[in-house]
Amino acid sequence: MPTSDDAAIKKVDGGDGQFFDAIARRYDLLNRIMSLGQDGYWRNKAVKSLELPEGGHFLDLATGTADLAIACAKRHRDARVTGLDPSAEMLAIGRDKVASATLSERVELVQGDAQALPFEDNSFDAVAISFGIRNVPDRRKALQEMNRVARPGGRIVILELSEPRRGLLASPARFYIHHVVPRIGSLLSGSKEYRYLQESIAAFPTADAFANLMREVGLTNVNARTLSFGAVNLFSAHAGH
């Protein structure tokens, strides 16, 4: 069932990538600055968790400008990669980056919705979504779709920002998320609605609650790992059908 922050997500993005179309040209810069340069490190952790077999096929949901898709293709030099995102502008930038990395033969980017994937059952050896699941209005449906298109036992990896709640750095980290991130986002993107980032992080379920949701849709061997003092959660599981 959609959660209380779904209306805010739909208001900001229209449910079809419009908000991300508007900030696409500055999206990579925003990520670098607001993550204090840690976003690449987090994505590499996700790629290392994929367990792709030789010649495997990987699906990257909410691929955006294709950073995770490119990182996977570089690490797994015999893999095929499909990236999907609702934002046409983000995908256009991603295709340029894929071409610059000379990966166009192995990396394909398509427009689509994580809640209704345009792929057959059991199509991929691994499926991931990085910094995107919190923006999906029906997360349960997206998880069900990930489970459906993954081959039995295929790896499911989810990387998502979180609001630190414990430890000495929790308080300053929350201040950064609540006050610094929205101002930087508004300044660099020219969009006052970038405050939604802070709100969506705060509204995202706890790691335990989200891991339970993953189990409820049939995923197995679910594991949740915190990175960077709780600023990010890395979830991993296997397709359970």
Q: pLDDT for 117-156, tens place per residue?
A: 999 999 999 999 999 999 899 999 999 999 999 999 999 9
Which structural domains are found in the chain, ordered by start? 6-162+206-238 (3.40.50.150)
39 among the known binding-site residues?
A: no
Per-residue model confidence (pLDDT) at position 66: 96
211 among the known binding-site residues?
A: no
88 among the known binding-site residues?
A: no
Per-residue model confidence (pLDDT) at position 23: 65
Per-residue model confidence (pLDDT) at position 199: 72
138 among the known binding-site residues?
A: no
The answer to whether 51 and 155 are in contact (CB under 8 A) is yes
- Counting as low any pLDDT under 50, the low residues of the chain are 1-15
Per-residue model confidence (pLDDT) at position 196: 65
125 among the known binding-site residues?
A: no
The pairs formed by 29-32 with CB atoms below 8 angstroms and a separation of 24 or more are 29/188, 30/184, 30/185, 30/188, 30/189, 31/67
At 27, list the tokens. 């999206």
Task: Name the amino acid, one letter, at 241.
Answer: H
